[in-house]
Amino acid sequence: MATPTEIAYNRAALIESLEFTFLMDEVGKHLSEAICGFGIILNLLLIYVICLRTPVHMKSYAVLLFNFAIFDLLTCIASLLACQKTIFSGFSLTYIFHGPCKYVAPWLCYFCHCFVCHAMAHSQWILLISFIYRYRILVDTAPSVKTMSMIVTGFYSMSFIVFLFYYLDMGDTEALKQIMYDLHPDNHYEDVTIWGNLTVSGNTTIFTIPSLTAIIYMTVTCVPIYFLIHWCRNRTLSILASSACSMSETTKASHAKLILALSIQATIPCFWLLASAIFTLAEFGVISGPIPENMTFRLMDCIPSSSPLVAFIFIAPYREGLMRLISKTGIYRKSTQNQVSSVVEPTTQATVQSTNQQRARDLA
């Protein structure tokens, strides 16, 4: 039987061996605060300028931008509340939550986790609709605000159903803790004097219909979505390059600029792909340790936090609205030179030429 001195020594050695884990947990928490805090501010600003600075001819397209901003804002808030750390535990999905939700209950933490996952999956559909929209207004009339709202609502209904399935499949906290204790004995997660009262939630197994459905919806569907995005992008650029396209060169350039903006926005989910790659490698034991445990969801946090930057950079009315807000603080002095919008939306094929002449002056 170990003496008190030996026990004290072993405990000191254990805590020393966990120092890097403690450090990465702190780094993960502070990264979550910084990334999500930055995203909350940017998305609030974007919502503000969308509501107050959207030109009439951009109203229908603004429905998509507003949807992006709302869900990105809510995703940042939910992720900040959760601040989850993944504990790779076989075929269970186990998460330790370091965010403020831990002071309420595990169910709230799991709710925030599910919301983050389903909102990011939903954003992929909105991105696809954005590309289809840019293609459609070149070959047909621009849809109304009501039509766009109905389309967005219809697509979100799929994500919402998956969200409900995923949330209702929440595993038992004590069962998940036991799985974590059994598969990670060296970390002594059961020792409350080292770890405190951990808030744990997740799924006891991924092999249930709700969990599998959610995982497939959030991962596999991105393949056909990005294939369709690529097709719409190429078709749109082909139309713009066609000599039969009755637009001025300036108007064509504005459409091409919007496609560039969407193309850049389509690269933002690379954070998702990188996070998925890390998750998969860690799940099958190829890599391990506190870095993949903490960084998986911090990489995903970068998606809703960086998305508003695309709108501010490429859409002049919103960029001007942001600069106007900043100028009120005295940090930036707004130029008196005339600035105009970078978005053009033709109304009908019959009037496209005259409409484009008017909107050509709206280019940034």
> pLDDT for 244-299, tens place per residue?
556 666 666 666 676 777 677 677 777 877 888 888 888 888 888 899 999 999 99
Closest C-alpha to 282, from 17, 106, 85: 85
Residues in contact with 9: Cβ distance below 8 Å, sequence separation at least 6, in sequence order: none
**Could you tell me how far CA 117 lies from the centroid of its own chain?**
8
Instruction: Enumerate domains of the chain plus CATH numbers.
Output: 7-337 (1.20.1070.10)
Q: In what order do the strands lie in the sheet with 200-203?
A: 84-89, 92-97, 200-203
pLDDT at 338: 46
94 forms beta bridges with 87, 202
**What is the Cα–Cα distance from 18 to 20, expressed in whole angstroms?**
6
> What phi and psi values does residue 248 have, to the nearest 5 degrees?
-70, 160
**Residue segments in the chain with a per-residue pLDDT below the cut of 50:** 6, 9, 337-364
pLDDT at 355: 46
pLDDT at 130: 87
The CA-atom distances, in angstroms, between 174 and each of 84, 104, 179, 202, 207 are 17, 17, 9, 11, 19
pLDDT at 112: 96
- Asked if 66 and 50 count as a contact pair (C-beta separation under 8 A), the reply is yes
93 forms beta bridges with 88, 203
The CA-atom distances, in angstroms, between 16 and each of 11, 21, 23, 237, 289 are 8, 10, 11, 58, 15
What's the whole-model pTM score? 0.84
pLDDT at 248: 62
* Pairing status of strand 84-89 against strand 200-203: unpaired
User: Tell me, what DSSP letter sits at residue 56?
Assistant: G
